[in-house]
Amino acid sequence: MRIGIDARTILNPKKGDAIGSGHYTYQLIRHLLELDKENQYVLFFDFRVREKDVKKFSRPNTKIVFYPFSDYSQYLPGAYNEFLTAATLAKEKLDVLHSTSPVSRIPTTYKGKTIGTFHDMGIYKIPECFHRTTLIRYKFSYRLMAKKMDKIIAVSNSIKEDLNSIFKVGDKVEVIYSGLDRRFFNLADAGAGRILGKLGIDKKYILFVGTVEPSKNITRLIQSFAIFKSKILAKNKGGQKGKKFEYQILLAGKNGWLSKEYLQLVKDLNLEKDVIFSGYIIGDELLPLLKNAEFFILPSLYEGFGMTVLEAFAAGLPAIVSNISSLVEIAKDAACFVNPIDTEEIAKAMLDFSENENMRNEFREKGLSRVKDFNWNDVAKKTLDLYKKINN
């Protein structure tokens, strides 16, 4: 079998480090190549990828293909995708082609068998959290891919339900949970002091990991933290005179849409010394941040899967998360659930976690148990089975 995988979501100089679907693509390819020595793999990359980065995928049964003239895609996106990309794909005579994100569109003129992975349906579930241009572009790609694919991989049952309610795709959809990078089980905190110092963390801290954008409910998160601070200070005033507020909150993730407004909100709430925006954190620096945090929080308005919750679990970090979409499905009983719209409820959960070590330990143990169910080897096996199924 000759299997093509669109790898454009990773190792793309225009997009920077792999996040989200890029991380999924990298881990899936890596584990498929370790598992399967019989089938042939053709990996399609974008332009100007560094040779040393592509080398890590070199195997006797692997071919690396670069899309020709991809520099021109920004000027002629429709023509580029439909003609140049289609011609490149047809030349490889694939038995199955896997697009690991609906944003990486397969040309409508391509005639081979196709599989697509859907990670997120937020543009349909919470459209108010996205820029209008993004909505138009992504909705076009999502609808096109949902219709074209012979099979669809949904990374959660929540995504499967959304796909069926929006696109009526029926039995096309197979649920295959994403896995977890094993490095998050390594609790070594080498360099933690340096990283914390660099970020200006000098107190106990609460950790959020994700893109700083409206879908992550950042405004209410900051407002909830302000309420949490006021509750702590009120308690201290009543019986612990002289005791200062000893918490910070670290928002670790790249700046997304409307991120500048959050900076102004922090100023308005007089939280400049308490709220830290780190920007994107690479994996090796994220590990010690997870290990040394007091607890994790993710009050998203929507999640397709919730990988950062599993990363927190693996690092032994108790978590507060929204009681929405896939998060209840993925976390089960291993997290403290809150209504993401209710800032008082979020603040109370923070207060409970800050005061109750037994509660934190209980959720820590549940998280470590739950995360064992998510393994990239299993993802690769199930995906390979789907390749074989579609080719029969």
The secondary structure of 110-158, three-state, reads CCCCEEEEECCCHHHHCHHHCCHHHHHHHHHHHHHHHHHCCEEEECCHH
CATH code of 90's domain:
3.40.50.2000
Q: How far apart (Å, rounded) are the C-alpha atoms in residues 331 and 227?
A: 26
| Residues 161 and 233 both lie in one domain | no
Long-range contact set of residues 7-11: C-beta below 8 Å, sequence gap at least 24: 7/43, 7/44, 7/45, 7/57, 7/100, 8/44, 8/45, 8/46, 8/67, 8/104, 9/100, 9/101, 9/103, 9/104, 11/45, 11/46, 11/49, 11/50, 11/53, 11/54
- Average pLDDT rounded to a whole number, residues 297-325: 95
| Residues 173 and 262 both lie in one domain | no
Confidence category of residue 372, pLDDT binned at 50, 70, 90:
very high
Confidence category of residue 105, pLDDT binned at 50, 70, 90:
confident
Residues 1-30 pLDDT 10s: 999 999 988 865 445 444 678 889 999 999
What is the average pLDDT score of the chain? 89
| Residues 257 and 130 both lie in one domain | no
- Residue 13 is predicted with a pLDDT of 44
Residues 88-103 pLDDT 10s: 899 999 999 999 999 8
- Residue 16 is predicted with a pLDDT of 43
Question: Tokens in use for 293?
Answer: 């945090």
Within 10 Å of residue 115's Cβ, how many Cβ atoms? 24
Q: How far apart (Å, rounded) are the C-alpha atoms in residues 299 and 322?
A: 5
Query: E strand or H helix at 321, and its extent?
Result: strand 319-322
What's the domain count of the chain? Answer: 2
Residues 265-278 pLDDT 10s: 999 999 999 999 99
Residue 95's alpha-carbon distances to 151, 154, 294, 347, in angstroms, are: 14, 21, 49, 53
CB 117 within 8 A of CB 24: yes
Residue 68 has pLDDT above 80, yes or no: no
| Residues 215 and 252 both lie in one domain | yes
- Residue 73 is predicted with a pLDDT of 56
| Residues 195 and 292 both lie in one domain | yes
93: Cβ contacts below 8 Å, ≥ 6 apart: 2
- Average pLDDT rounded to a whole number, residues 33-38: 96
Q: Among 102-111, 322-331, 363-372, whose mean pLDDT is lowest?
A: 102-111
- Residue 88 is predicted with a pLDDT of 87
| Residues 164 and 226 both lie in one domain | no
- Residue 241 is predicted with a pLDDT of 52
Q: What percentage of the chain has pLDDT greater than the value 90?
A: 69
In three-state secondary structure terms, 30 is helix
Residues 225-237 pLDDT 10s: 999 999 999 887 7
- Domain that residue 362 falls in: 182-373
Within 10 Å of residue 141's Cβ, how many Cβ atoms? 18
| Residues 224 and 131 both lie in one domain | no
Where is pLDDT greater, at 294 or 241? Answer: 294
| Residues 126 and 214 both lie in one domain | no
Residues 180-227 pLDDT 10s: 988 777 656 656 788 888 899 999 999 999 999 999 999 999 999 999
CB 341 within 8 A of CB 302: no
Residue that the structure tokens 């089960």 belong to: 332
| Residues 363 and 385 both lie in one domain | no
265-291 in b/e form (b: 16+ CB < 10 A) is bbeebebeebbbbbeebeeebbbbbbb
pTM above 0.75, yes or no: yes
Where is pLDDT greater, at 150 or 243? Answer: 150
| Residues 196 and 170 both lie in one domain | no
| Residues 215 and 79 both lie in one domain | no
| Residues 35 and 67 both lie in one domain | yes
Residue 368 has pLDDT above 90, yes or no: yes
